[in-house]
Each structure stands twice: as structure tokens, then as C-alpha cells.
């Protein structure tokens, strides 16, 4: 027959849990580990009186007297209306809100069960969520999320605000990995951001501007096929407005569709032809001479002029042009301009930008875009990293 431990002996054994584990203590006293854990569980639930012989969990009559006089029994006998009344008293009636997600309801159910001993079954029924789903969440995800890491919280907040609150959980997780060498799963960052109330700023609506057009038009060779097999095979170019204070500048870019890299950019105070053509000349110098790139543009005046026709002929480009009024035909450029303005320019009001600060911001962003910003399309690698990693592939393809 097993030894009958007294209340005092059990208390002495349990006191050693603060400095040792249950397995070690069990070997020391020649007692099962489960017994020690059971005693500890009873003390937390009821108190030290549960350690008296015959009143523990192993006893046939365990809990009968206690339950009959406890609130637990009262909660279990409640009707739905009574439970609602108790939730209202404890200011937790929002459990019934239809705006709460399942996870938010599950979190509240755990707190209510722990703090008020309400039945899990009744709370799940009242919140209109399944018990099986609740227990599966507790087992698979909730227990891990309870291990809140304050250092991780600070890292996520620092990156979120350092990048002007413009990035969601996926981009942030890869930026954290790139800059701090901390490999966080996107869903981990998502959970922390949601708990902290951190959300990416919504992109502002883009306005369309109608520019004059010249006489020379070209076929839409690109035809929205933005996938390239090697560096320099397909290039896109376009112009956008940079508004600052009471003035406006213009930005011209040439973008490689294989890597997404901005090959060259030029900023001008006016819409003269020369800054666009300088932009294109600088770009072709980076392309292998064996390649005849497709250069796609819209039908703006710069790209339909006679000078442009002469330029692309001299440089060996295959011209391609969007259909009139179809900005998605040049979506690769539009996407870059949207990113630039959402992530940098629109963060401050127009009145706060000066010519100098605007130029510096554009230069810094394009460097960040080329060398650090990891798009999903490139498997979360920056354009330059992608080029470095795949250089042997596309050089072999060209040769």
C-alpha cells in the first residue's frame, strides 16, 4: 500500500518546487511525479486543505462539499439569460458582439473562464463559436502566443515606425531579417502587429494626368507581359510629378523588368525632352551589347517625338507603346511610382517638402528600393541581391 503522506509532509515537498523540478523531487522522496503535480494543482484550485488525506483529487468524494458551496456550481446551473446578466455586471457583454473575430472571442472566453469560472461550454454557445475550434486553437496556437516577448515587441515597433508605418507584416518580417538577422515568420509579426494596433497606411488614390502626344506611335510589343528571362531583355520608362511646396518637379525612370531594378533616373524642373533622353542613354550603358532591349513607354510627347524615334534607333531599342488611356499597359512603372509616393512622399504634406528635401528623399528611396527593399515577386530579395544571385543564369542565357 502506498504511503499516506500527511498535510505537513506534502507542503514541505511542494515547497521544493520553487528550486527544483517535479521529477527530481519524486526520485528524492520515492513518490510518483504525477502525485506531486496533482497536489500542486489542488493547492492552486482550492487551497492547502485539499492536502488532507481523503480530500484530494484521488478521493472518491473529492470536491463534493466544496462544489456544493462554490460559485462554480452556480455558474453551471445558470440559464442563458442569467449568464448574460452576469456578463453585463462584469462588463464583458462585448463577447456577444458580432464585430469580434473568432480569435478575439476565444481570448475573452479564456479570461472569463479563468477569472469568473464560467463554463467553457456555456461561453462558447453564447458567443456562437464551436468548442472543438476553441480547444484546437488553445492546443495549437494560443499557448505559443501567450509567450509574449517584450524585446520582440520593441523590434517590431521600431521597424514599423522607422519605415513610416507603410509596411504590413509580410514586408516587415523580411526587413527585420535583412537588417537584424532575426528570422521571424510573417504570422508572428502579424499577431504582434494586430495586438499592438499597428496597421499599414492605405495607399492614396492616384490621379491621372493627360499629356500631349506626338505623331509617332508604336505597337504594344510588351502587351502587359512583364516577365523577362534575363537582365536587360525588357525595359519600361515613364514620368511622374513630384509636388513640393508651391512647385513641381518631374521624375523620369527606366526600370528593368527581369530584376525590377531602377537602372537610371533623372529629375527636372520642367518637362523638356533632354532629361528623358539622358535617362534612357544612361540606362542602355548598363545593358550587354549583345542584347536588343524592348523599351516600353506610354504615348506621352517625349516618346512620340521625332527625336525619340532617332534616339531609340541609334541605341538599338525595340520600341513598344501602351495603348492610349491604358495605364495598366505600363503597370510596372506605375507600381514603382505608387510605392515611392506612398512610402515616402505622401508621409508628409506637400507644404513640408522643399526642393532639396524632395530630391534627397527620391535618391535615398531609389537606393533603398534597388539594394534593400525585398519584393515578394523576387522571393523577398532586393533587385540587386536577385541579380547577384542569378547572374550566372542570365549571362549564360544571353551568350
Average pLDDT score over residue span 360-374: 94
Q: What is the pLDDT of residue 359?
A: 95
Threshold 0.85, pTM exceeds: no
Residues 6+ apart with CB under 8 A from 282: 254, 263, 264, 266
Q: What is the pLDDT of residue 257?
A: 93
Asked if pLDDT for residue 305 goes beyond 70, the answer is yes
Average pLDDT score over residue span 105-132: 81
Q: What is the pLDDT of residue 70?
A: 45
**Cell representation of residue 239:** 514620368
Closest CA to 347 of 242, 201, 241: 201
Asked if pLDDT for residue 192 goes beyond 70, the answer is yes
Location of C-alpha cell 534607333: 313
Q: Do residues 241 and 260 touch, judged by C-beta distance below 8 A? A: no
Average pLDDT score over residue span 196-215: 65
Asked if pLDDT for residue 373 goes beyond 50, the answer is yes
Which band of pLDDT confidence, cut at 50, 70 and 90, is reported for residue 60?
very low
Q: What is the pLDDT of residue 5?
A: 81
Asked if pLDDT for residue 358 goes beyond 80, the answer is yes
Q: What is the pLDDT of residue 67?
A: 41
Q: Do residues 265 and 362 touch, judged by C-beta distance below 8 A? A: yes
Tell me which of 88 and 65 has the higher pLDDT. 88
Asked if pLDDT for residue 59 goes beyond 60, the answer is no
Tell me which of 177 and 51 has the higher pLDDT. 177
Q: Which CATH architecture has domain 234-398?
A: 2-Layer Sandwich (3.30)
Closest CA to 376 of 168, 117, 78, 128: 168
- Which burial class, exposed, middle or buried, applies to 239 when counting CB atoms under 10 A from its CB (0-12, 13-18, 19+)? buried
Q: What is the pLDDT of residue 145?
A: 52
**What are the residue boundaries of the structural domains of the chain, listed by start?**
7-69, 71-145, 150-196, 234-398
Amino acid at each position: 500500500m502506498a504511503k499516506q503522506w500527511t498535510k505537513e509532509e506534502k507542503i514541505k515537498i511542494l515547497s521544493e518546487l520553487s528550486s527544483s523540478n517535479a521529477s527530481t523531487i519524486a526520485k528524492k522522496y520515492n513518490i510518483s511525479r504525477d502525485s506531486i503535480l496533482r497536489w500542486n494543482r489542488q493547492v492552486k484550485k482550492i487551497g492547502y486543505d485539499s492536502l488532507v488525506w481523503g480530500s484530494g483529487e484521488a478521493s472518491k468524494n473529492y470536491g463534493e462539499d466544496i462544489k456544493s458551496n462554490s460559485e462554480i456550481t452556480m455558474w453551471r446551473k445558470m440559464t442563458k439569460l442569467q449568464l448574460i446578466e452576469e456578463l453585463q455586471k462584469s462588463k464583458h457583454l462585448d463577447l456577444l458582439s458580432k464585430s469580434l473575430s473568432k480569435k478575439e472571442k476565444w481570448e475573452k472566453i479564456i479570461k472569463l473562464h479563468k477569472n469568473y469560472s464560467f463554463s467553457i461550454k456555456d461561453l462558447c454557445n453564447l458567443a456562437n463559436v464551436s468548442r472543438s475550434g476553441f480547444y484546437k486553437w488553445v492546443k495549437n496556437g494560443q499557448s505559443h502566443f501567450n509567450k509574449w516577448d517584450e524585446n520582440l515587441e520593441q523590434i517590431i515597433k521600431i521597424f514599423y515606425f522607422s519605415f513610416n508605418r507603410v509596411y504590413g507584416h509580410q514586408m516587415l518580417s523580411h526587413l527585420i531579417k535583412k537588417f537584424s538577422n532575426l528570422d521571424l515568420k510573417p504570422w508572428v509579426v502579424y499577431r504582434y502587429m494586430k495586438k499592438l494596433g499597428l496597421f499599414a497606411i492605405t495607399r492614396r488614390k492616384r490621379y491621372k494626368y493627360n499629356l500631349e502626344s506626338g505623331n509617332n506611335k508604336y505597337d504594344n510589343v510588351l502587351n502587359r507581359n512583364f516577365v523577362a528571362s534575363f537582365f536587360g531583355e525588357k525595359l519600361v520608362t515613364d514620368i511622374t510629378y513630384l509636388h513640393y511646396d508651391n512647385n513641381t518637379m518631374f521624375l523620369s525612370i527606366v526600370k528593368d523588368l527581369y530584376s525590377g531594378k531602377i537602372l537610371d533616373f533623372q529629375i527636372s524642373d520642367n518637362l523638356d525632352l533632354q532629361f528623358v533622353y539622358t535617362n534612357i542613354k544612361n540606362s542602355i550603358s548598363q545593358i550587354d551589347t549583345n542584347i536588343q532591349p524592348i523599351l516600353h513607354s506610354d504615348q506621352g510627347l517625349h516618346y512620340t517625338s521625332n527625336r525619340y524615334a532617332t534616339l531609340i534607333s541609334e541605341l538599338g531599342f525595340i520600341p513598344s507603346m501602351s495603348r492610349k488611356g491604358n495605364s495598366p499597359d505600363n503597370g510596372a512603372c506605375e507600381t514603382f511610382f505608387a510605392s515611392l509616393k506612398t512610402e515616402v512622399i505622401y508621409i508628409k504634406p506637400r507644404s513640408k517638402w522643399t526642393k532639396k528635401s524632395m530630391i534627397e528623399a527620391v535618391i535615398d528611396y531609389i537606393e533603398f528600393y534597388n539594394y534593400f527593399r525585398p519584393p515578394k515577386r523576387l522571393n523577398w530579395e532586393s533587385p540587386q541581391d536577385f541579380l547577384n544571385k542569378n547572374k550566372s543564369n542570365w549571362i549564360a542565357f544571353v551568350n
